[in-house]
């Protein structure tokens, strides 16, 4: 990727000042990465440029694109965050910092295989939470996608590790943000490296199958087009082929028999509004026999990531099984681009007529952050200034995430104090806590930790738990470990009667 290609693409979307900034950022990053090369032998700058190029293609705002150009400068060169802030403003430096933090958090997940599936899901949530601003994740996804695209230059063991991590953490993250196309690109690339034999085998198998059914499907398509025209419906229709990775996953469910997979190829019908979606569904069911169990109304009940469509599978008179997906243009755009679509920058001027109707998206409560983010993004697009806290992705409500200096992640309740952290690391670390540094600065025992803090504990053998530490812990875990230690040290009497418990409480109250 060359600077010229990025600038040319950007010229269509951003105004003059923004382009000047982009030009400046590219020169700055080029100079700082000057002595570095990618494994491919290309100058290092080709990577951040490729990331920026993707972000522009996805229609992201200029701050995200600038951060994409600069995303590796703080981690991989001697550039300091202050410098970025001075040159490119607070918002850009906030995003670059977020990307650097997510990389650190990722480094903390050393052995992915030791995580259970449900924990892996939490990891993707967690990275989203840690990044604080959802744009950080979108930049990170572009970063990962380009790394996968250039994976051939890495040694095989690194290829496998990166591929595995992409499937376990990054693809689910893209999915969570509704970015269907990026999710698919990540999955296809990663899977082709992780299990190349299986990938090639399935690709051949798919090709053979599709060859057989494409002509038959073509006939169905012609029939449907004719009927929809008769009904005076405005529509687009196209075929979508299942991705190799989703075929692989599905085959595992049906014990490897490709004949049991009905949606190798589906027909997708795109119309103007919700009502028409249901009309089309009715027309199809009038023409063919639907398989009742396979009718899905993701318009009334969207998938957790906001995906909407009607799905139905029908049997034609000559016993062909065909899946249809029916959706509006807006739903289609969201299905492909997800949250990134909300940041879409260039539609702002060109299409004021394109009024975003309030599609009745009723997400389950735990996922309403997507709607909230979309609303905020919409206001951003309209040029409104939005405070940082409104971009904050609050997935965990009252939980915070902090890091050890090595990048390990710890989850604590909001308001947790440094000693809660020590006891979470290990009861011996808790026991011998001597002092704390948070983000490199000395931190008192009674000051709560914040989301994203890097917490460093200094332990000394001579340091022992004291009775007043009971006021300096907030979690049940830390409190119970501490009490055991205090009892062993004879600071606390073993409590064996209700009277003693009450007495103990009264003493503590008096002290306050
Ligand atoms: Mn990078």
Assign domain 3-179 one CATH number from 3.30.1360.200, 3.40.190.10, 3.90.110.10, 1.10.3210.10: 1.10.3210.10
Please say if the pLDDT value at position 47 is more than 80: yes
Please say if the pLDDT value at position 196 is more than 50: yes
Please say if the pLDDT value at position 305 is more than 50: yes
Q: Decide: residue 325, CB within 10 A, 0-12 exposed, 13-18 middle, 19+ buried.
A: buried
Q: Give the residue-averaged pLDDT of 221-235.
A: 96
Rounded mean pLDDT of the chain? Answer: 81
Q: Give the residue-averaged pLDDT of 274-284.
A: 96
Q: How far is the CA of 408 from the centre of ligand 1 (A)?
A: 20
- Specify the pLDDT at position 93: 93
Please say if the pLDDT value at position 254 is more than 60: yes
Q: How far is the CA of 29 from the centre of ligand 1 (A)?
A: 12
More confident residue, 462 or 276: 276
CA distance 185 to 167: 11
Q: Where are the alpha helices (DSSP H) in 150-273?
A: 156-165, 171-176, 180-194, 196-230, 244-253
Buried b (16+ CB within 10 A) or exposed e, 5-31: ebbeebeebbeeebeebbeebbebbbe
- Specify the pLDDT at position 228: 97
Buried b (16+ CB within 10 A) or exposed e, 177-205: bbbbebbbbbbbbbbbbbbeeebeebeee
Q: Diameter of the chain by CA atoms?
A: 89
Q: How far is the CA of 105 from the centre of ligand 1 (A)?
A: 15
Please say if the pLDDT value at position 162 is more than 60: yes
Q: How far is the CA of 426 from the centre of ligand 1 (A)?
A: 33
pLDDT tens for each residue of 389-438? 444 444 444 567 777 777 666 778 788 999 999 998 899 999 999 999 99
- Specify the pLDDT at position 118: 42
Residue 57, token pair as written in the block = 């293609």
The CATH code for residues 348-498 is 3.10.20.30
pLDDT > 90 in the chain, percent:
46
SS3 of 450-486: the string is: CCCCEEEEEECCCCCCCHHHHHCCCCHHHHHHHHHHH
Q: How far is the CA of 209 from the centre of ligand 1 (A)?
A: 39
Angle value at C-alpha 179, between 107 and 100, nearest 5 degrees: 25
Q: How far is the CA of 72 from the centre of ligand 1 (A)?
A: 5
The CATH code for residues 197-337 is 3.30.460.10
Please say if the pLDDT value at position 57 is more than 80: yes
Q: How far is the CA of 7 from the centre of ligand 1 (A)?
A: 19
Please say if the pLDDT value at position 247 is more than 60: yes
pLDDT tens for each residue of 67-80? 999 999 998 899 99
- Specify the pLDDT at position 10: 94
**CB atoms closer than 10 angstroms to residue 508:** 13
Domain residue limits, the chain: 3-179, 197-337, 348-498
- Asked if 76 is an active-site residue, the reply is yes
Q: Give the residue-averaged pLDDT of 9-22.
A: 93
Please say if the pLDDT value at position 245 is more than 50: yes
CB atoms within 5 A of ion ligand 1 belong to 72, 143
- Asked if 259 is an active-site residue, the reply is no
User: Exactly one of 42, 76, 85, 347 is catalytic; which is it?
Assistant: 76
CA distance 231 to 265: 25
More confident residue, 349 or 429: 429
Q: How far is the CA of 147 from the centre of ligand 1 (A)?
A: 7
Q: How far is the CA of 200 from the centre of ligand 1 (A)?
A: 29
pLDDT tens for each residue of 97-143? 888 877 766 555 544 444 444 444 445 555 555 556 778 889 999 99
Q: How far is the CA of 181 from the centre of ligand 1 (A)?
A: 20
User: Exactly one of 57, 75, 428, 468 is catalytic; which is it?
Assistant: 75
Q: How far is the CA of 179 from the centre of ligand 1 (A)?
A: 20
Please say if the pLDDT value at position 311 is more than 80: yes
Nearest 5°: phi and psi at 168?
Answer: -80, -35
């Amino acid at each position: 990727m060359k600077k010229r290609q990025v600038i040319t693409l950007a010229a269509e979307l951003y105004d003059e000042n923004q382009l000047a900034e982009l030009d400046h950022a590219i020169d700055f990053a080029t100079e700082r990465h000057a002595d570095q090369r990618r494994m491919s032998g290309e100058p290092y700058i080709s990577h951040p440029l490729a990331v920026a190029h993707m972000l522009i293609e996805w229609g992201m705002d200029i701050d995200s694109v600038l951060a994409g150009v600069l995303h590796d400068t703080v981690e991989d060169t001697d550039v300091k965050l202050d410098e970025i802030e001075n040159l490119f403003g607070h918002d850009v430096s906030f995003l670059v910092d977020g990307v650097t933090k997510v990389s650190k958090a990722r480094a903390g997940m050393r052995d992915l295989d030791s995580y259970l599936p449900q924990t892996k899901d939490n990891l993707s949530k967690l990275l989203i939470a840690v990044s604080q601003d959802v744009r950080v994740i979108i930049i990170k996804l572009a970063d990962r996608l380009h790394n996968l695209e250039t994976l051939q230059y890495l040694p095989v063991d690194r290829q496998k590790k990166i591929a595995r991590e992409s499937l376990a953490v990054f693809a689910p993250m893209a999915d969570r943000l509704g970015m269907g196309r990026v999710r698919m690109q990540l999955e296809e690339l990663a899977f082709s490296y992780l299990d190349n034999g299986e990938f090639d085998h399935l690709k051949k198998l798919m090709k053979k199958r599709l060859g057989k059914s494409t002509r038959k499907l073509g006939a169905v398509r012609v029939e449907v087009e004719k009927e929809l025209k008769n009904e005076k419906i405005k529509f687009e229709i196209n075929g979508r082929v299942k991705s190799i990775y989703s075929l692989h996953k599905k085959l595992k469910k049906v014990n490897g028999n490709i004949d049991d997979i009905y949606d190798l190829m589906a027909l997708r019908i795109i119309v103007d509004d919700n009502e028409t979606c249901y009309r089309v569904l009715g027309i199809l069911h009038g023409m063919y026999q639907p398989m009742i169990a396979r009718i899905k109304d993701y318009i009334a009940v969207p998938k957790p990531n906001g995906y909407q469509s009607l799905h139905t599978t029908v049997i034609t008179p000559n016993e062909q099984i065909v899946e249809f997906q029916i959706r509006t243009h807006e739903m289609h755009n969201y299905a492909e681009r997800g949250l990134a679509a909300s940041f879409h920058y260039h539609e702002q001027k060109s299409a004021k007529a394109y009024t975003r109707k309030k599609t009745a998206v009723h997400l389950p409560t735990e996922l309403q952050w997507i709607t909230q983010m979309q609303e905020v993004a919409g206001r951003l697009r309209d040029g409104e200034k939005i405070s940082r806290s409104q971009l904050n992705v609050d997935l965990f409500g009252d939980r915070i995430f902090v890091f050890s200096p090595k990048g390990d992640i710890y989850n604590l309740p909001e308001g947790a104090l440094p000693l809660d952290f020590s006891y979470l690391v290990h009861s011996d670390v808790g026991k011998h806590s001597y002092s704390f540094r948070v983000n490199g600065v000395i931190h008192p025992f009674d000051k709560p930790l914040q989301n994203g803090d890097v917490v460093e504990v200094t332990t000394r053998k001579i340091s022992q738990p004291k009775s007043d530490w009971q006021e300096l812990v907030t979690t049940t875990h830390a409190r119970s470990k501490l009490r055991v230690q205090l009892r062993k040290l004879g600071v606390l009497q073993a409590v064996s009667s209700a009277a003693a418990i009450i007495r103990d409480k009264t003493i503590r109250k008096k002290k306050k």
